Amino acid sequence: MSNVKITTDIFIRYLLGSESNKDLLLDFLNAVLSDSDFPTLNEVFIKNPFNLSNLSLLKESILDVKAVDEQGKVYDIEVQVAEEIDFPKRTLYYWAKNYSDQLVKGEYYDELKPVICINILNYTLFDNIDKIHTCFLACEKDTPDLVLNEHFQIHFIEMSKFNNNSQNIKDTLRQWLIFMKYGDNEEEIMNYAITDDKIYKAKDEYNKFIMNDELRESYEAHMKWLRDYNSGIYVSFNKGKIEGKIEGKIEGKIETAKNLKKLGIDNQ
């Protein structure tokens, strides 16, 4: 039986988006917030619960986990499997959409609540720093301690940077990253000390997932869709590059012909 990679959106949606695993979602959110020195939460509510009956809809879509806390703050957790050049723009777009969708016509701005986006990346986004977990706020350029407000918060967790020697994260988040990176490998995870009971529950949920035929079939179908989706982006990108080169050459020849004509030279 082939392994299911933990840091895939469909498994994370199952793990953190199921009502029965709301305690895991709360623990993960608190690990991320605590690692950035933000206050932790007491309660969380899932806005888009994972449901087996909706598996057919989950096969062909980009999945995330949406939740709100006891104060109404909005949380959006997304996994990005493959590298995407414009991902920072995409996460800004999703943050803006989650923020603007809170209001309907006639409501006041004071009803807006903070939106916290948490992106789990299977690749390196920031090559110039070693930090695994980065958090972006709306700050004044020359005075970083001056924050516009607490409503804008975007986190990136770069799994590719995490290893046994990683020192720049707190233990609560470290436990989760150990599970996310090595939890699908029984031999590898034995090299790490797991002290958080929630991680043991997460491991049990992983075993349930891989033993469930319906869930595994949906996982395989979703991964196929992702491969096709990313392949389509790659083909379109390269097609655009080729077409751009051809158009550039044609435009160059036209410009050359115009210049020669101005000089009275016949371009034959």
Q: What is the DSSP letter of 161?
A: G
pLDDT above 90 for 113: yes
Q: Three-state DSSP class for 130?
A: coil
Contact between 59 and 221 (Cβ < 8 Å): yes
Instruction: Give 257-267 pLDDT, tens digit per residue.
Output: 666 565 566 55
- As a whole number, mean pLDDT of residues 100-105 equals 91
Question: What totals of helices (H) and strands (E) does the chain contain, helices first?
Answer: 8, 8
Q: How confident is the model at residue 59 (pLDDT cuts 50, 70, 90)?
A: low
Domain boundaries, the chain: 9-212
pLDDT(159) > 60: yes
DSSP state letter for 105: T
237 close to 229: Cβ distance less than 8 angstroms: no
- Calpha distance 54→43 (Å, rounded): 25
d(CA 65, CA 8): 12
SS3 category, 24: helix
CA 174 to chain centre: 18
Element (H, E) at 254: helix 213-262
Q: Which residue has the higher pLDDT, 165 or 125?
A: 125
